Amino acid sequence: MPDDDSPAHASCPTPARRRSVTAAAVLAAVCLTATGCGPGGGTPQGGPPAAGSTSASPRESSPASSPSPALPSAPASGKRLPRGPLTGRTVVIDPGHNPRNREHTREINAQVDVGNGRKECDTTGTATESGYTEAEFTLDVSHRLRNLLEAEGARVVLTHDDDRPFGPCVDERARIGNEAYADAVVSVHADGSAAGNRGFHVILPATVRDGGADTSKIVSPSRDLGERIAGGFRRTTGSAPSNYIGGNTGLDTRDDLGGLNLSTVPKVFIECGNMRDPEDAALLMSADWRQRAATGVADGIGRYLKR
C-alpha cells in the first residue's frame, strides 16, 4: 500500500504472527532487454547545482524525519558500474514502509506536510495471512530491481535499505529523489485490499498546486513512466491489471500521496498485487515471481529512459 496513506478500499491488518524481516537475498545482476531511444526528461529545470553550491530542498522537513542519507555515486557493492544503455541515468527506488515501523508508532504517526494537507509520516504496511510483510516484499523486489538497473549502467539510489529504525517519512522519501535529480523514481508496494480483489496497478501523480507542492511539470512524464512500467509488468509477470481500481487499465491517479505531491522529478508507485487475496499472496511470496516482477518494472523504466 502507499507509504503515506491507506487507500479507502484497503484493509491493512497487522497479523500477530508477522515475523521480523530478514535481509533480502540479492541475486546476481542480469541484463534486461529493452527497446527505444532518446533522452529521458527527469532532471529538474536548471539541472544539478554547480560545484561548491548548496542544494537546498524546497520542502520543509518534518520533525520525525531524519536527515537525508548521502547519495552514493557507485553501487552498494562498491564495484564500478558497467557501461550500458542506462549509463549516466539516475534511478531512485523507494521500498515501501520499513520493517520496524510498528516499533515506532509515535514517530510514524507524526503528521508531516504533503503539500495539500498533512498526513502520517509513514504506515506499517500490510501482510499476507501467513505473515509475510509488505516491508519484506518491497525490499526484496527493490534489491532485485537495483541489480537489473545497475547491470544496464544506471546509478541507483534506495530511499532506505533496512538501515534505519523507522521511515523515512513520506516528505523525506520525495526529497531523496529530488536531491538525486533522479531521471525516474519508483515506489514499490503491495496492496492490502479485500480477498477477491486481484491484480496490479500503477499510481500516477495528479496535478497538485497547493502549499509546497507543484506537480505540474511531472504529471506528463510520470504518466509516460507509469504506462511503460504497467506494460512491462504485465508482459513479464502475466498478471492482469487490478480488477478493483483503475477501471482495468492498471493505472490510478491520486492527489493525496505526499511521496508524489512533493516530487519534482518523474515518479510513480506500483502496487504489485493484493497481499490479502490468497491467489495474489501466493505470487508475491514466490521468489521466482518477485524476480519477474522486478524484471517487468526494470523493463518499463528502461523503455522510459531510452525513449
Q: Could you list the active site residues?
A: 271
Which of 245, 305, 261 shows the shortest CA–CA distance to 88?
Answer: 305
- Specify the amino acid at residue 130: S
> Packing angle between helix 287-305 and helix 134-151, nearest 10 degrees?
50
Q: What is the rounded distance in angstroms from the CA atom of residue 13 to the CA atom of residue 34?
A: 38
Q: Distance between CA atoms of 100 and 128, rounded to whole angstroms?
A: 17
Sign of CA dihedral 161, 143, 306, 80: positive
Cα 85 from Cα 95, distance rounded (Å): 24
Across the chain, where does the E strand assignment appear? 90-95, 111-113, 118-120, 155-158, 184-191, 201-205, 209-210, 213-214, 251-254, 267-274
Among 193, 156, 188, which Cα is nearest to 259's? 188
Contact 151, 32 (CB under 8 A): yes
